[in-house]
Amino acid sequence: MDESEQDQSSATKPDSYEAAVERLEEIIDRLDSGQAGLRETLDLCKEGKELVTYCAGELDEVGEGLKELRLDDLATKLDTASEVG
Amino acid sequence: MGTSVEESRLTPAPASRPGPNFPGPFAVGTYARKLQGWMRERARVQLIGEVTGVGRSKVQAYFELRDSEGAVPCAIWLNDLEKAGLDGASLRDGAEVVISGGLDYYPGGGQASPNFCFRATHVRLAGEGDLIARLEALRKQMRAEGLFELQKQLHRPALPKAIGVVTAERGAARRDLLAGLERRGWGGSLIWGFAPVQDRHAAPAIGRALQDLAARPEVEAIVVTRGGGSLADLWAFCDETLCRTVAMLRVPVISAVGHERDSTLIDDVAAVTCSTPTHAAEAAVPLDCLAARDSLERCALALRRAGEGAVETRSRHLGALARGPARALQRERGKLNQKIREIRAASERGLADRATSQRRIGTLVLERARRRAAGADMEKRRDALHRAAVALRAHEPERTLERGYALVEGDGGEPLTSAAEAGAAERISLRFSDGRVRARPEQRDEA
């Protein structure tokens, strides 16, 4: 994989939290193996940090306290909005 | 029935009248009585279904018996109801019953309207066995249609942002589900779709709530839950229409209906079945958010260490390489000095050894010579030696002096061998065999 391809892949947003965690575990395993060269190590660290940031953001989105909504209320709001519109 | 009713024809139809070429017309009252007789001759059967629209007159109770496929109007004389051992409260809307009887038709009269019904002669509440048999039939049919697999093929996100929940507004399941989500550390959006969970209105209401929740794009999983009960209590969750609706939803449905021993049809079609609302919370949010945060911190630390470690290790290696040549030179110099010391020591050892060896050889040679000298010609050699000593002694100056000669010496004792030297000296010394005489030359004669 050349540098431009790697930059492109590392900048791609993961499909899901679990996909991000799976890739993160692959990266940690590769780094733990000690077989990665310096360039690969630095690239993997960069990609891993981006994944950690993404995962932390996902956790933050569900970490601010439970928000309880009622389907009836949402439907009423929707009806009102469509009438106004 | 057509031929027997035909007999009741009172007057033949005028041949000239226009219209379809059917038999008749017949007197309707006669037709009605014939119809009643025909219906009552039909086979007596048992029907099972849900009671709805219960009403009573002075002599009979009437209701509809229905399921998702259709309904039949029913009636039972009150005395038959009493004989069946059911009071008014038992025959209620939503009750699952088994009725026995057959078709009946009341032809009406001058003031009364005609009425068709299934005349029940016996009624009983549906037992577990009846419901289980019906459930198994439905289960077999829906499994054969592949409806049990559709939900299970849906992707369930590990960390949904919004979850829909269908349950009773005041049920204990609601509280348990909230507690389960809290333990998970999950704080996303929870959309409640409240619905009755135990009567004939339950299944349609649950189905509507599910469809409305699934229509919201943010909802990533839906939990359907209620507490335990008898199979009759949970029967709404075995409703065929509801279960077909669940099977076709785009959002995974997590079923937590009843207790672990209870098995409803919605459990079969749902993506996941749970025994309690708490377990349903874990299935709806597979990721333990608290543990995930810890894990993420460990990952971040591992990445930081790996990055820093890779640079540090290599910089140390480079540093070691940079110091390498000087160290190598020093090392080689040390080796060289050692070699020199070894060579010197070896050389000294070699010289000493050689000297020892030569001394030993010399000793051997001398010994050998001495031994040779001590051999047979030793006497001869001694004589020759003696003669040589005598000859040598004859040439000594003392011997010459003994014969009467004198030796002229200078003042310093040096021999003066010519008259010129003696004449030139201030003082001379004449050495005889028995002593010296000092003299001063007076005249020098030329030769």
Q: Which of B126, B151, B180 delimits the end of a domain?
A: B126
pLDDT of A3 reads: 46
- Higher pLDDT among residues B150 and B29, named by residue: B150
What's the number of domains chain B is made of?
4
Contact: B187, A62; criterion CB under 8 Å: yes
Conformational region of residue B285, where left means phi above 0, alpha means psi within -120 to 50, and beta covers everything else: beta
| Domain assignment present for B14 | yes
The rounded distance, in Å, linking the Cα atoms of A38 and B135 is: 64
Same domain assignment for residues B112 and B139: no
Mutation pick from A42, A71, A72, A74 vs chain B, by most beta carbons of B within 10 Å, is: A71
Same domain assignment for residues B73 and B215: no
The rounded distance, in Å, linking the Cα atoms of B169 and A73 is: 14
pLDDT of B131 reads: 78
Same domain assignment for residues B296 and B324: yes
Nearest-by-Cβ selection for B303 from A36, A52, A66: A52
* pLDDT at residue B417 greater than cutoff 90: no
- Kindly report the CATH number assigned to the domain that includes residue B56: 2.40.50.140
Contact: B306, A56; criterion CB under 8 Å: no
The string of pLDDT tens digits covering residues B278-309 is 999 999 999 998 899 898 899 889 888 888 88
Within 8 A of B293 by CB-CB distance, chain A residues are 59, 63
| Domain assignment present for B379 | no
A78 interfaces chain B, CB cutoff of 8 Å: no
Torsion of CA B17, B20, B25, B30, to 10 degrees: -170
pLDDT of B392 reads: 80
Q: What are the Cα distances from residue B88, in Å, to B78, B125, B128?
A: 10, 12, 21
Contact: B187, A64; criterion CB under 8 Å: yes
pLDDT of A5 reads: 47
What's the number of domains chain A is made of?
1
- Range ranked top by mean pLDDT from A1-10, B73-82, B412-421: B73-82
**Helices of type H across B78-186:** 78-83, 128-144, 147-150, 172-183
**Residue B367 is which amino acid?**
E
- Higher pLDDT among residues B216 and B125, named by residue: B216
Same domain assignment for residues B147 and B53: no
- Range ranked top by mean pLDDT from A53-62, B168-177, B312-321: A53-62
* Sheet-wide strand order for B407-409: B407-409, B428-432, B435-439
Within 8 A of A33 by CB-CB distance, chain B residues are none
| Domain assignment present for B105 | yes
- Range ranked top by mean pLDDT from B170-179, B211-220, B356-365: B211-220
| Domain residue limits at A77 | 3-84
pLDDT of B322 reads: 83
Same domain assignment for residues B44 and B110: yes
Same domain assignment for residues B118 and B243: no
pLDDT of B38 reads: 94
Contact: A62, B159; criterion CB under 8 Å: yes
Same domain assignment for residues B296 and B403: no
Nearest CA distance, A69 vs chain B (angstrom): 5
| Domain assignment present for B110 | yes
**Band of pLDDT at residue B16, cut at 50, 70 and 90:** low
| Domain residue limits at B250 | 133-287
Phi, psi of B108 (to 5 degrees): 85, -170
The rounded distance, in Å, linking the Cα atoms of A60 and B214 is: 24
Conformational region of residue B146, where left means phi above 0, alpha means psi within -120 to 50, and beta covers everything else: left
Nearest-by-Cβ selection for B181 from A44, A66, A72: A66
Nearest CA distance, B95 vs chain A (angstrom): 28
**Band of pLDDT at residue B2, cut at 50, 70 and 90:** very low
The percent of residues in chain B predicted with pLDDT above 70, rounded, is 92
Q: Would strands A67-70 and B253-257 be described as parallel, antiparallel, or unpaired?
A: unpaired
- Closest residue in B to A41 (Cα) is B307
The rounded distance, in Å, linking the Cα atoms of B113 and A83 is: 47
| Number of Cβ within a 10 Å radius of residue A55 | 24
| Domain assignment present for B360 | no
ipTM score of complex: 0.76
The rounded distance, in Å, linking the Cα atoms of B58 and B51 is: 20
| Domain assignment present for B263 | yes
The string of pLDDT tens digits covering residues B378-397 is 777 778 888 888 888 777 77
Are B419 and B445 a contacting pair, CB within 8 Å? yes
Token output for B44: 């007596």
The percent of residues in chain A predicted with pLDDT above 90, rounded, is 34
Same domain assignment for residues B198 and B258: yes
Please tell me the least confidently modeled range out of A33-37, B86-90, B145-149, B263-267.
B86-90
Contact: B161, A61; criterion CB under 8 Å: yes
* pLDDT at residue B104 greater than cutoff 80: yes
Contact: A75, B185; criterion CB under 8 Å: no
pLDDT of B186 reads: 92
* pLDDT at residue B367 greater than cutoff 60: yes
Nearest-by-Cβ selection for B192 from A18, A61, A68: A68
- Higher pLDDT among residues B447 and B191, named by residue: B191
Same domain assignment for residues B218 and B326: no
pLDDT of B18 reads: 64
- Closest residue in B to A75 (Cα) is B212
Same domain assignment for residues B112 and B188: no
**Band of pLDDT at residue B9, cut at 50, 70 and 90:** very low
* pLDDT at residue B377 greater than cutoff 70: no
* Sheet-wide strand order for B162-167: A67-70, B189-194, B162-167, B219-226, B253-257, B272-273
Please tell me the least confidently modeled range out of A39-43, B199-203, B342-346.
B199-203
Please tell me the least confidently modeled range out of B56-60, B67-71, B103-107.
B67-71
The rounded distance, in Å, linking the Cα atoms of B197 and B319 is: 75
B213 interfaces chain A, CB cutoff of 8 Å: yes
Same domain assignment for residues B314 and B433: no
- Kindly report the CATH number assigned to the domain that includes residue B172: 3.40.50.261
Same domain assignment for residues B117 and B146: no
The string of pLDDT tens digits covering residues A2-30 is 444 444 444 578 888 999 999 999 999 99
Mutation pick from A59, A60, A78, A79 vs chain B, by most beta carbons of B within 10 Å, is: A59
The string of pLDDT tens digits covering residues B266-278 is 999 999 999 889 9
**Residue B267: which H helix or E strand, with range?**
helix B265-269
Contact: B303, A49; criterion CB under 8 Å: yes
- Closest residue in A to B212 (Cα) is A71
Q: What are the Cα distances from residue B107, in Å, to B2, B29, B38, B277?
A: 17, 7, 12, 54
Q: What is the mean pLDDT of residues B104-109?
A: 88
